[in-house]
Amino acid sequence: MTDLALPRLGYGAANVGNLYRALTDDEAWAVLQAAWDEGIRYFDTAPHYGLGLSERRLGAFLASKPRGEYLVSTKVGRLLRPNPEGAGTLDLAHDFAVPADTRRVWDFSAAGIRQSVEESLARTGLDRFDVLFLHDPERHSLREGLESALPALAGLREHGLVDAIGVGSMDTNALLASVETDLLDLLMVAGRFTLAEQPALAEVIPACRAHGVGIVNASVFNSGMLATDNPGAGARYDYGQAPAEVLARVQAIAAVCRDFGVSLPAAALQYTLRDDTVRTIVVGGSRPEQLHQNAEHMRVSIPEQLWQALARKKLIPA
């Protein structure tokens, strides 16, 4: 496991890449400044987020901060290339409100991985990244990711060009296979280890413990369902509508939280930090007040009796 000192809370910068809705440059800066003001010093981005917009905005913001005071991760696997056919349209098929005059091109080759890093450095203006994640390998070729992309990332680490490498995915099979290569320092688990559901607990978490891999836990609100104290019928879950059985379980969890005077979002943020494999929680946010609120939720003291009550009711694993 890498000895990179990740803080308990990080910011996932998809929103400043215009995820779901467009932000002005000033609005994006205000979100990032709110994260900084709350003491957040770990920022995660990707070329995928807004076709490079997230990387550009994050880099511009961090240029105003001392490089030694923050950590940055970005992702590899998708190169950005001109897309004349997309001129005049938006990238809404990928949920980003940005011009679609650029397209994503999968490339898991060693040369493609190196090119991806160089282009991300140019977009951010940074001289290095602290962490590099292979992004969603199962959506292109998991085999190629394991056999080509991960060894290429390991080579960058061996040459001192990055401190830690990993894989980011929502797919437990891809996460497990990646850990078992014994090449990783970190695993970004997106939405598979949350207060609502814990499919990563079956095999992924034990494998991380066995191989000394730390977890960067993302999407702990399951795309929003756990981000409110009273999730309703229209709750968003994994970028879509919440299934009835999942929503019912979350509403039952929310009721127990209310009995203990604990906010559901606070419980969702802190739940997985109880596992020693989880190094940090990465949250998004498109408004400054969301960053302030999440930071406050992380400061709340949650009684152990709450987790015990949820376990007794079989709402979380014992």
pTM of the model: 0.96
Residue 4, in any domain of the structure: no
Structure confidence at residue 186 (pLDDT): 98
Domain housing 42: 9-312
Q: Quote the tokens at residue 312.
A: 């007794």
In a domain? residue 1: no
Look up the CATH number of the domain holding residue 220: 3.20.20.100
Let me know if 239 is a catalytic residue: no
Would you state the pLDDT for residue 157? 98
Read off the pLDDT band of 28 (50, 70, 90).
very high
Q: Is residue 3 part of a domain?
A: no
Supply the pLDDT for residue 257: 98
DSSP letters, 1-27, are: -------SEEEETTGGGTBSS---HHH
Specify the 3-state DSSP secondary structure of 308. helix
Is residue 2 assigned to a domain? no
Query: Can you say how many angstroms the Cα of residue 205 is from the centroid of all Cα atoms in its chain?
Result: 17
* Residue 114 within any structural domain of the chain: yes
Domain count, the chain: 1
> Please, which residues have CB within 8 angstroms of residue 237's CB and are 6 or more apart in sequence?
196, 222, 223, 224, 225, 243, 246, 247
Q: State the SS3 of 244-297.
A: HHHHHHHHHHHHHHHHCCCCHHHHHHHHHHHCCCEEEEEECCCCHHHHHHHHHH
CA atoms within 13 A on the CB side of 133: 27
What's residue 235's pLDDT?
A: 72
Among 42, 49, 237, 271, the active-site one is 49
Residue 317 lies in a domain: no
Q: What is the DSSP letter of 42?
A: E
